[in-house]
Amino acid sequence: MGEREAMEYNEKVERIRKTEYPMLAGTTYLDHAGTTLYAKSLIERFSASMISNLYGNPHSASTSSQLSTRRIEDIRLRLLSLFNADPETFDVVFVANATAGIKLVADGFRDHGTGFWYGYHRDAHTSLVGVRELAQKHRCFGTDADVESWLEKPEELDIAALFAYPAQSNMTGYRLPLDWCRRIRALSQESPRRIFTLLDAAALVSTSRLDLNDSEVAPDFTVLSLHKIFGFPDLGALIVRKESGTILESRKYFGGGTVDMVLCLREQWHAKKSDTLHDRLEDGTLPIHSIMALDAAMDVHEKLFESLDRIAQHTAFLAKRLYDGLSSLRHGNGRSVCKIYKESSSVYGDPHSQGPIVSFNIRNSEEAWVSNGEFEKLTTVKDIQVRTGGVCNPAGISSYLGLAPWEMRENFSAGQRCGNEYDILGGKPTGVIRVSLGAMSTIRDIDNFLDFIHDFFVDLTAVSDTEVNYPLTLPRELASFYVESLTVYPIKSCAGWKIPVNTPWEIRDVGLAWDREWCLVHAGTGTALSQKRYPRMALIRPSIDLVDGVMRVRVVGSEHEISVPLSANPTYFVEEDGFRSRTTNVCGDTITANEYKSEGLSDYFTQALGVACRLARFPSVGNSALSSRHSKAHLQQHQRSSTRNMPGAFPDGRIAEEVMTRPILLSNESPILTISRSSLNRLNEQIKMSGGKAAQAEVFRANIVVAEDLRSVPGTEQPYVEDSWRYMQIGNQYFQMLGSCRRCQMVCVDQETAIKNQEPFVTLVKTRRFDGKVYFGQHTCHIQGLAESSTSAQYPTIKVGDAVQSFGVDDDLERFRSGQVG
Ligand SMILES: *Cc1c(COP(=O)(O)O)cnc(C)c1O
């Protein structure tokens, strides 16, 4: 269809819109797949026919009953001919919707022989995925290439096989190869085992013709939603190749209307209807009036839109305009506004490879994701109807959005559910915005929508290519530091795990991701164990595997390794073990933790430590008072004196207030602990002077070790300068220093060998005692939301090697935040 023809057809649709779809007035309607839109004359024609005829239930010889029967048979034929399907070869079974058609096929296979193998494509709708639960074996094909290589060499199976896929993805609009049905059929004819094909045409046929003329090429089972084509009636159809239909007759259930005779009392026997396949599969009273409406729907649709081919061309033209428009939207700094999810081989404008659906997410000029919840609120104001979320396409969503199974589980245990507001988790969107066009869509809808995105989401003021937009330009008052190492301690009081270099690590409210989320609790008292009493805990070495989504644990001297899922609440996923909640005491706080029930896990840790204990996870689910802890750190006297007389200093109470509301997990006092290499060097010099054994950084169990960059600031180190820091900037993240960390003998446990020494505590007592208490290192917390709308705020990370700048002045927090300091 050329440009002029396309415009003419669009004009025609505009006219149809005015007269036939008055409910669309003033609305930009972009959610055709899945929703019903019916023409005014369809409803009028249908009601006229209902008022002037008497249609009875087609189960008797009465005139009204006969009229219904005759009409229904005519409509079946007419529906088959819409798909060019020969009634000799195919039969049509009326069902409630496409899903019911899929389930009818699945029921037949389930009850057939010893069950079945089920293969389905990644792009499958949820309704197609669910069939796997009835199958003996199943496989999800992740790519077209996987299907291709399986077609080359299908696995040997000793049970019936069903391969299912959507003719068009309801998420991306990608049109999958229909040729697979032919190839599978050809393949089955060579081998003794048949592989049957189930084509989910629900999304495709709403805007495209499906031709079943060549029976060698056609699927065995085709399901569709008639309401997606015509808007009304709410009805689905299953088109069955008669010869393949016998397998559906394995279905054990029989309902009224499907049997000729049933014996119940002394004998149990029934005879299925013998006439047609649909007679044996349509349980109960047919949706007579819906079927009558279907006749009217086919009439009206054809009259209004000419043909499905015309609709295919029209919608392809609109989808291309939308795709081109969205993909060319740029912020002032040149960055794309929309991240569009699309099969790489498909081409918008080409109805063979691509249907009229565009799925995408919006990013701001800093490349942070725009929440779909926010997007939806604005569409409501502007009367734009568009779908957001997981769009019933689970595997498509996870692969296009790059969500690993464990992340989906993590999101689920964090509270994400179909349709709720958890739309960005861990810096990734959990759903999409989906535009789906229909026959009655017009250029006006597309342009309205593009204008809307342009008006609300394009930031023309963004300056060009600033890699990271630092909100603060603070003076570099003190020596410049960098991050020497980052460590998390997944299990409280057990060994730390060094975050690999070049790995940006997420910072959460409660500290570095995966720090102190687990603890070991005494089987008897329920108290969290600590290295102070059980030095061997240092030999328990956890590590975090973000590929498999597990914490792995090894014990020094043992070959045996265990792993625990990272998901906050694996009870959803591990049936036999799971959790029980347990009142636990951590550093004087009474909390409720989730204790792992698994005996295997308990034995592992009990053996490692020689004390009966169990692994527990915090926080437990639910929001009771016992499921949260708060930071206790505060500035110490020795720190205050250094800044007391600084200009601009504000009363300490203000910082304290800010700090007290900081949530923490199982760490002792604060979300993050920072130590300085220079201070450690000074301490070790002093230890060596008195003949002691130098301490490793590990004994201080810090998360962040900062070291001085002596190349940029030549000269001597500045030990303990961090005592006077109030804020620090690491990479593009900001932190507040909460006060010095008080120390005990636990620093004497060698973290390699678990052997206790005297040092460094003895030297610390001599050199770092203030008001009778011993301090080393600084409690720290992340300051959120400095650059509210940037990726660095949405998914804050730091990494080894990041530059550290410190700010020693007790400046007003608000001024610090707004970047006016200095
Ligand atoms: C809409 C849709 C379905 C479900 O159709 P219902 O008629 O609602 O059961 C299944 N598959 C695809 C591809 C769809 O677009």
User: pLDDT, tens digit, for every residue of 639-661?
Assistant: 654 443 333 333 343 444 444 56
Choice from 94, 99, 122, 205 to test ligand 1 binding pocket (greatest atom count within 8 A of CB)? 99
Judging by DSSP bridges, how do beta strands 579-586 and 505-508 pair with one another?
unpaired
**Which CATH number is associated with domain 45-257+289-302?**
3.40.640.10
What integer pLDDT is reported at residue 13 of this predicted model? 96
Check if 97 has its Cβ closer than 6 Å to any atom of ligand 1.
yes
E strand or H helix at 435: strand 432-436
State if residue 207 touches ligand 1 by the CB under 6 angstroms criterion: no
Report the C-alpha gap between 10 and 443 in whole angstroms.
7
Q: Is 172 in the pocket of ligand 1 (CB under 6 A)?
A: no
- Residue of 36, 97, 127 to test ligand 1 pocket, by largest number of atoms within 8 Å of CB: 127
Output the pLDDT for position 650. Answer: 36
Residue with tokens 């040149």: 334
Alpha helices in 557-618 (DSSP H): 599-609
Residue 230: its pLDDT value, please?
Answer: 94
What is the per-residue pLDDT for 462?
Answer: 83
Task: State the distance from the centre of ligand 1 to the C-alpha of 572, rounded, in angstroms.
Answer: 27
> Which stretches of 563-660 are DSSP H helices?
599-609, 637-643, 652-660
Record: fold of 477-482+631-817: M1 Pyruvate Kinase; Domain 3 (2.40.33)
Eight-state DSSP code of residue 740: E
**CA–centroid distance, residue 471 to ligand 1 (Å):** 47
Tell me the longest C-alpha to C-alpha distance in the chain.
Answer: 112
Residue 581 burial (C-beta neighbours within 10 Å; 0-12, 13-18, 19+): middle
- Measured distance CA(194)–CA(413) in Å, rounded: 41
Q: What is the pLDDT of residue 354?
A: 97
One-letter amino acid of 299: D
- Residues in the chain, how many? 822
Q: Give residue limits of the domains in the chain.
A: 45-257+289-302, 310-465, 477-482+631-817, 489-504+511-626
Q: How far apart are CA 293 and CA 233, in angstroms?
A: 6
**Residue 369's closest CA among 785, 734, 792, 732?**
792
Angle at which helices 288-305 and 308-328 cross, to 10°:
70
Exposed/middle/buried for residue 15 (C-beta within 10 Å: 0-12, 13-18, 19+): exposed
- Spacing, Cα 356 to ligand 1 middle (Å): 16
Give the span between the Cα atoms of 388 and 359, in whole angstroms: 9
Q: Could you tell me the two tokens for 356?
A: 């009229």
Separation between Cα atoms, residue 212 and residue 114, nearest integer Å: 31
Question: How far does residue 224's CA lie from ligand 1's centre (Å)?
Answer: 7
Contact assessment for residue 443 and residue 437, using Cβ atoms and an 8 Å cutoff: no
Q: Which residues of the chain have pLDDT under 70?
A: 34-36, 464-479, 568-577, 619-629, 631-634, 636-662, 664, 711-715, 785-789, 808-822
Is the distance from CB of 105 to CB of 249 less than 8 angstroms? no
CA 485, 490, 494: angle at the middle one, nearest 5?
Answer: 90
- Tell me which DSSP letter residue 5 carries: H
561-565 vs 505-508, strand pairing mode = unpaired
Helix (H, G, I), strand (E, B) or coil at 681: helix
pTM: 0.83
Q: Left if phi > 0, otherwise alpha if psi is -120 to 50, otherwise beta: which for 720? A: left
Q: How far is the CA of 93 from the centre of ligand 1 (A)?
A: 16
Question: Rounded to 10 degrees, what is the CA torsion of 174, 407, 785, 333?
Answer: -30
**pLDDT on residue 794:** 82
- CB of 408 sitting under 6 A from ligand 1: no
Task: Give yes or no for a contact between 493 and 529, defined as CB atoms under 8 angstroms apart.
Answer: yes
Question: If you take atom 5 of ligand 1, which residue's CA is the nearest one?
Answer: 98
Tell me the three state secondary structure of residue 250. Answer: helix
As a whole number of angstroms, the distance between CA 628 and CA 319 comes to: 49
Report CA(203)–ligand 1 centroid distance (Å).
Answer: 7
* Cβ(236) – ligand 1 distance below 6 Å: yes
Is the C-beta atom of 223 inside 6 A of ligand 1?
no
Ligand 1 proximity of 686 Cβ (cutoff 6 Å):
no
Residues contacting 230, CB < 8 A, separation 6+: 38, 42, 294, 297, 298, 300, 301
The catalytic residue positions are 392
Asked if residue 225 has its Cβ within 6 Å of ligand 1, the reply is yes
Q: According to DSSP H, which parts of 616-671 are helical?
A: 637-643, 652-660
Distance 119 CA to ligand 1 centre (A): 18
pLDDT of residue 637: 65
Q: 173 CB less than 6 Å from ligand 1?
A: no
The number of the ligand 1 atom at minimal distance from the alpha carbon of 97 is 7
Decide: 449 and 378 in contact? Cβ < 8 Å: no
- Which DSSP symbol is given to 756? B
Beta bridge partners of 522: 613
CATH for 310-465?
3.90.1150.10
- Closest to 128 (Cα-Cα) out of 65, 80, 199, 217: 199
pLDDT of residue 783: 85
Q: Using CA positions, which residue lies closest to atom 13 of ligand 1?
A: 203
Contact between 484 and 705 under an 8 Å Cβ cutoff? The reply is yes
